[in-house]
Structures are given as structure tokens and as C-alpha cells.
Amino acid sequence: MSKCIMLGVDVHDATLVVKMATDAQAPETLRVENNPDGRRRLWGEVRAARERMGAGRVVMAYEASAQGFGLCDEARGEGFECHVLAPTKIPRSPARGRQKNDDRDAQAILELLRGHLLAGNKLPAVWVPDAQTREDREIARARLDVSEKAGMIKAQIQMLLKRCSMRRPGGTGKGWTNAFVAWLTGLTNAGSPLAHGARVALASLLRQKSALDEEITRVDAELAALAEQARYAEPAWAMKVKGVGLLTTMVVLTEMGDLRRFTNRKQVGAFLGLAPSSHESGQVDDRKGHITHQGPWRVRRALCQCAWARIRSDAKEKAAYERVVAKNPKHKKIAVVAIMRRLAVQLWHLGREAQIKHGCFADAA
């Protein structure tokens, strides 16, 4: 059996702290700068160690973070195996939290990797999306981000009106109608009931809202163009169900990626963090708690909005919601989560079938 070099890496903005060991031997520590020159030095050290020790495999692991998957791409490009670990699934003792440093973090990752390679322990690794999926999801995330900022501006305007004891006049409809916006614009004029400071603040908020509305239009055009690409066109079309718009469809497709990697609905619910947590003991079993909230929160947010739209507009979904509410009248959120999970599984089925039929991820194989 050939030797295996294992690397546990603690990743930071400026540095990489590496614990490198061969099989069960004591590790050596490497510290390099987290820049192209530093990483080239690391790969050179690893190649030299592999040649020196006659190792057949090089396997590396590090925790997922805001650094993204660039380090994983480089490692795999060098011919090394690389795993990106989920921080929320790594066991951490209170003692370790009180004695935390970079060396211990890198050593802990190395020991997880050793347990996986030498003893067959399960590794808490995350799915690493291909480069194209990562690029595509930036567009959907940008659209969600702009929408969230626009929602915050609207809330600020409403709070400003409340502070100034201003009430919406009749004839302006409901929501952000043109008549309502025209009334708000009129309040910024010198003759309005608002004082000078409030007029200045309202005018500023309206300008910000207008700019964000224009940005939403621009990003929507980019999102629509993305949805027409070969990878997404057929799944996006198949996932057109009542209450689900293009934004939700593209958020699901870009965040979940290749839907073929899920084999059943339980895996879908677990990945999206919509599965209930479990609290069991020797005396009490099958005790369920709140949902885990693991996985892509953007998908949960989009599904929540769609769930409410379907509850309001679809008699079947409304009946399903009311059945769950009847069992838990004080916990209506449980019913909303149930609708979200039903919708997620439905979209997965539709999108997966389309991906299989049209070979949408053949380019990522």
C-alpha cells in the first residue's frame, strides 16, 4: 500500500497554516502567505515531500469560509485530492473553544482527515460546485441582495412616515403604487406638512429607492439571459409552477446545482435545512425540534416567499396549510415550513427530470 500525504489547512485572509503528515506519523508545520507566491511555495513543498517519501496520494482538507473554493481549485489543479469541510458539522469541545489557535485548528482538521483515510470515518465535507455554477449564482445572489436593500429602504420610508404622524391618503391603492409614490414625492416639496429635516430624509430615501429599482431592472435582465442558457433553460421551464417566479427558480438551480446528486426527498430537505432537528435521550426518543437551518439560506428565503404566495392563491396549498395549523394552532410557522418543504421537493423533482433528460450538467462532469 502506497503512502499518503495528508494536509490539514487553517485558512486566513493573509496566511495558510498547514499541518502535513504521512499516514500516522507526526506532522510538520508549514506557514505560507495566502497569495499566489505563498501558495506556489506550498505546492512545491508538498511535491518535494511526496517525492522524498515516495507517497502515491496527497489529500488536503480545510474549512469552508468566505475565502470560497479557490484554494480547492488550485490543489486539484496540482493533482491533489481536496475536501472542503462544513464548520457547523465539525465537533468542537468547550475546552477547544477556550484554547483556540491556528496550529490547533490545522491539527484538528488533519486528525479528521486521518480518521477518514485510515479508519473510514465519515468526513463532514461540503459539495464543491463547479466554476460555472459559482459564477452563475453570483447573478442570482446579486438580485436577492438588491431586492433586500430595496425592501429596507421601503421600511425606512414607512417608519419615517410613522414618526411624522403621516397617514397614507385614500385613493393611493395598496402597496407601492404610482399614486403612492407620487404622494411621497409631493411630501418632499417645500409646502408639504413635513418639516425640513424630514423632507430631506424622505427625498434621500426616494432617490435611493429609485436607484435600486433601476438596478433591479438591470439585474433582472442578466438573470433572464442566464435562464436562457443551455444549462438552465429546460429545468427553469420545467419548474414553472404557480407562485414560483424566475428569481426563485434560478436561486434554486444555482444554489443547489446538479440536482441529480440528490436521490430522495429527505436529502433535499436536509440540504436546505428544512429537516427538523432531533433531541433524543435514553428516556425520550423521536423528539423533534426546530429545523436545522443548515445549507443555503437564500433558497429558504425564496421558498418562504413562494410558500405564502401559494397559500394565498392556491386552494390545495391553503387546505394543506390549514390542516397543519389545526394540529399546531400556536405554531403556524410549522405549517409554513411544511409548505416550503413540499415546494422544494416538487421543484427538485421537476428540475432533476429536466436535467437528466437534457444532460444539463454534462459540461461539469
pLDDT in tens, 253-291: 999 999 999 999 999 999 999 998 876 666 656 657 788
The total domain count for the chain is 3
| Residue with cell string 465539525 | 90
Question: Which candidate, 19, 27, 22, places its Cα nearest to that of 5?
Answer: 22
Q: 199 pLDDT exceeds 90?
A: yes
* Statement to judge: residues 163 and 269 lie in one domain: no
State how far the alpha carbon of 195 is from the alpha carbons of 33, 169, 198, 233, 362, in Å: 55, 19, 5, 52, 62
* Statement to judge: residues 150 and 238 lie in one domain: no
What is the structure's pLDDT at 88? 87
Q: 317 pLDDT exceeds 80?
A: yes
| Residue with cell string 517519501 | 53
Integer Cα distance of 273 and 298 in angstroms: 11
Model pTM score: 0.90
Q: 3-class SS at 44? A: helix
* Statement to judge: residues 245 and 346 lie in one domain: yes
Integer Cα distance of 235 and 358 in angstroms: 9
What is the structure's pLDDT at 283? 63
* Statement to judge: residues 82 and 165 lie in one domain: no
Burial of 202 (0-12, 13-18, 19+ CB in 10 A): buried
Q: What is the mean pLDDT of the chain?
A: 93
Q: Flag whether 84 is in a domain.
A: yes
What is the structure's pLDDT at 228? 96
State the DSSP H helix or E strand holding residue 137, giving kind and residue range, or none if neither: helix 131-163
Of 89, 119, 149, the one marking the end of a domain is 119
Cell triple for 271: 440540504
Region 56-83: what's the mean pLDDT? Answer: 95
pLDDT per residue over 99-146, tens digit each? 788 999 999 999 999 999 999 999 999 999 999 999 999 999 999 999
Of 211, 227, 243, the one marking the end of a domain is 227
Q: Flag whether 125 is in a domain.
A: no
Q: Flag whether 69 is in a domain.
A: yes
Confidence bin at 331 (pLDDT 50/70/90): confident
Residue spans of alpha helices (H) in 228-289:
233-238, 246-256, 265-271
State the DSSP H helix or E strand holding residue 63, giving kind and residue range, or none if neither: strand 55-63
State how far the alpha carbon of 94 is from the alpha carbons of 49, 72, 98, 101, 104, in Å: 35, 29, 7, 14, 14
Integer Cα distance of 206 and 186 in angstroms: 11
- Residues 106 and 9: beta-carbon distance below 8 Å: yes
Of 70, 97, 119, the one marking the end of a domain is 119
Q: How many CA atoms lie within 13 A of 147 on its CB side?
A: 15
Torsion of CA 320, 237, 309, 296, to 10 degrees: 90
**Domain enclosing residue 261, as ranges:** 233-364
Integer Cα distance of 327 and 288 in angstroms: 15
State the DSSP H helix or E strand holding residue 22, giving kind and residue range, or none if neither: strand 15-22
Integer Cα distance of 106 and 100 in angstroms: 11
Integer Cα distance of 339 and 306 in angstroms: 9
